[in-house]
Amino acid sequence: MRYPGNIERSIEKSYLENIEVSADAEMDGRILGDALAAMEESKKAGPALAGPNVWRTIMKNRITKLAAAAVIITAVLLGVKFAGGPDMANVAWGEVTNRVAQVDYVHVYWFKSRGDALFRQFEGWYAHGKLVRRGDKGGMTYDDGQTQQKFDEQGRRIGKKPSLFAEGKTFFELFSADLLSDKNEQLSQLTPINVGDDFLIYEVDPPPDWDGSQWLENISVTVGKNSLLPVQMKIFEKDSDDYDLVMFDYEAPEKPPEFFEPPMAASANGQSEVVLDGQEVVLNIEGAPGLKQAVVRLYDKYDGPAEQFPLDYISSDRLDPNFSRAVSEGVRKKYKKKGGPVYRLDVSFVTDEGYESGTLVFLATRLNEAGQCGVGSSAGGLDGWPDGKYRNIKFSPLLKSTEREDTYIVEIRCWLRPKDD
Amino acid sequence: MLEDKLLIRKFNRGDGDALRRIYEKYRNDLLKVAAALLNDRSGVEDVLHDVFVSFAKGMGTFQLRGNLKGYLSICIANRARDKNRAAQRQRTVGMDNAGPIRSDISGPAHLAVHSELSERLGSAMAQLPCEQREIIILHLQSRTRFRQIAKSKGVSANTIRSRYRYGLNKLRSILNGELR
């Protein structure tokens, strides 16, 4: 017989929580009394360990005293400021975010560490409220402040949704997933943990109720001492030695306005009306070599309270129940943040050879928001097709409303990615 | 976490109230860690005492890397391990003969373990290798991150993760043996 329960949960609930420990005042007094006494001893020992007083040593000797006076006079005459004093240690994070809000142009590099190596993930250019990102494989994202559009490396549009700046975010809030927002009052009072000759270093821990606190350990931001602008950000994940490194360059030559304009989006490869909870619809696919048809079904519109969002929203015999639940939980979180309605869209494809792909049963879709998706063979895997060839079908569905409440237009942009692509 | 950093800053400046606040904030959690790791639970107060006195001596130079609760929990685990070894040397009794953790102790910290499953888990935990037991307790009781434990032991986070997984598997097989 197998142990039936979740072992971690059992340890927590049935073992650790049942260890009752109550410390009494007597014990507290003993421990704290001894600890405070040890602290006092350390205080007394402190000055002896602190080393000689340099200023006193200088002033004791006539020659060094004169030399020190000469250095000070020269510094005053040259207008040199002694930096790194207590003032810089008190520069609150709020002052940094104020400076960031004034930035018109910045070039950003984003790297990921893997072991001892760093890999570039994307480059970004932010100018006057517009953002362009180029992924390491050549895919581009254009955000004009109202709409964000994603294009693959072939220039095909694979996603469209409201701008990331629509809520008045700065580029820095965007890159730090809101953690380093000037709206975070607790954070705005944060002072540097380190003051160097040229830089201030801030370390930010995610608040427990912040969305990313499950995965993010902390963010370390290096800020220029004179400019008070972030020049580097390191993002550490929990339980991992890897980190993301983001570098900000404010002096790169500014890109021309046309650089921030997205290319004309190619028309859809297939389009049809679909009825909510109705029959599946077969779309003829054009302009996507290797693909003949897409089979689409739309159901499960949800527009209720986020708290009641069904945690079995995604369910399938093909999927592990824990995976389905985790995906449903993810959809619920996003729903809570962005609102609804949300629809479940199933899409499968038929290749020129007549092979049918599997469906993505967990495709939660919003109106007018295109996402990037992919499916392989129905047997699972990308080379599990009847002829043994590798096929990865990438697609981007877009759902639009019509005048009829239960009828929608679904547009599919798709292409077949062979192994060598 | 931000509060801890503030407390540490004050503590390093010699503020006794900051030390008192740190003690009161984490005392109960640390007692649990000690109770779960010690073979003889009458030593929990000693372990907590030693850790806090040693921590207080570091005033002025203490640097917080990772989270404070995790750091203190690791100190408790180290001290508990030393104490278990010392007791083992005195008694010349092997861990295998030490038996399950018992609750019939007296002392300033009053401890009790309830329920049959709880007793079985306690017994199974006592049979785990010391390192695996430590990692499981640190991770589940103190929420200490694998990375922080790894740094304290000078090994990789993956090694700690593996030990944690082996520990859970062993617990499962011990409990399966009992259920069979």
In CATH, the number for domain B2-179 is: 1.10.1740.10
Spatial contact of A335 and A342, defined as CB atoms under 8 Å apart: yes
Q: Do A23 and B108 touch (CB under 8 A)?
A: yes
In 3D, which of B52, B53, B56, B49 has the Cα closest to residue B15? B56
> Cα angle vertex A104, ends A99, A109, to 5°?
90
Contacting residues of B for A20, CB less than 8 Å apart = 110-112
| Domain boundary assignment for chain A | 48-80, 93-260, 270-303+340-417
Residue from B3, B9, B21, B23 whose CB has the most chain A CBs within 10 Å, to mutate: B23
Distance CA A393, CA A390 (A): 10
Q: Do B2 and A43 touch (CB under 8 A)?
A: no
Q: Do B58 and A12 touch (CB under 8 A)?
A: no
* Main-chain phi, psi angles of B9, to 5 degrees: -60, -45
Contacting residues of B for A16, CB less than 8 Å apart = 32, 36, 137, 140-141
Q: Which of B20-29, B32-41, B44-53, B134-143 has the lowest mean pLDDT?
A: B32-41
Nearest chain B residue (CA) to A40: B14
Contacting residues of B for A42, CB less than 8 Å apart = 56-60
Q: Which of B27, B53, B114 sits opposite A38 (nearest CB)?
A: B53
**What is the architecture, at CATH level 2, of domain A93-260?**
Clam (2.50)
Q: Do A31 and B45 touch (CB under 8 A)?
A: yes
- This complex has an ipTM of 0.79
Q: What is the pLDDT of residue A1?
A: 40
A38 at the B interface (CB within 8 A)? yes
Average pLDDT over chain B, rounded to an integer: 77
pLDDT digits (tens, 9 = 90+) for B76-88: 998 888 888 777 6
Residue B178 pLDDT > 80, yes or no?
no
Contacting residues of A for B114, CB less than 8 Å apart = 18
- Residue A372 C-alpha, separation from nearest chain B C-alpha, in angstroms: 32
Contacting residues of A for B49, CB less than 8 Å apart = 30-31, 34
Total CB pairs under 8 A between chain A and B: 144
pLDDT by 10-residue block (mean), chain A, 421 residues: 68 80 80 87 58 47 58 44 54 85 87 81 87 88 87 78 75 72 72 84 78 75 89 83 86 83 79 90 92 90 86 71 76 82 90 88 80 78 85 88 91 81 48
Residue from A6, A21, A186 whose CB has the most chain B CBs within 10 Å, to mutate: A21
Q: What is the pLDDT of residue A409?
A: 94
Nearest chain B residue (CA) to A39: B56
Nearest chain B residue (CA) to A240: B147
Q: What is the pLDDT of residue B179?
A: 44
What are the CB-based long-range contacts (under 8 Å, 24+) for A201-208? A202/A93, A202/A96, A204/A93, A204/A179, A204/A180, A205/B1, A205/B2, A206/A179
Q: Which of B109, B118, B121 sits opposite A21 (nearest CB)?
A: B109
Q: Do B31 and A21 touch (CB under 8 A)?
A: yes
Q: What is the pLDDT of residue A46?
A: 56
Rg, chain A, Cα only: 30
| Domain boundary assignment for chain B | 2-179
Q: What is the pLDDT of residue A351?
A: 94
A26 at the B interface (CB within 8 A)? yes
A66 at the B interface (CB within 8 A)? no
Mean pLDDT of B56-66: 80
Q: Which of B28, B58, B161 sits opposite A21 (nearest CB)?
A: B28
Nearest chain B residue (CA) to A15: B118
pLDDT digits (tens, 9 = 90+) for B66-123: 788 889 999 999 888 888 877 766 544 333 333 333 333 333 333 343 456 777 788 8
- Residue A50 C-alpha, separation from nearest chain B C-alpha, in angstroms: 10
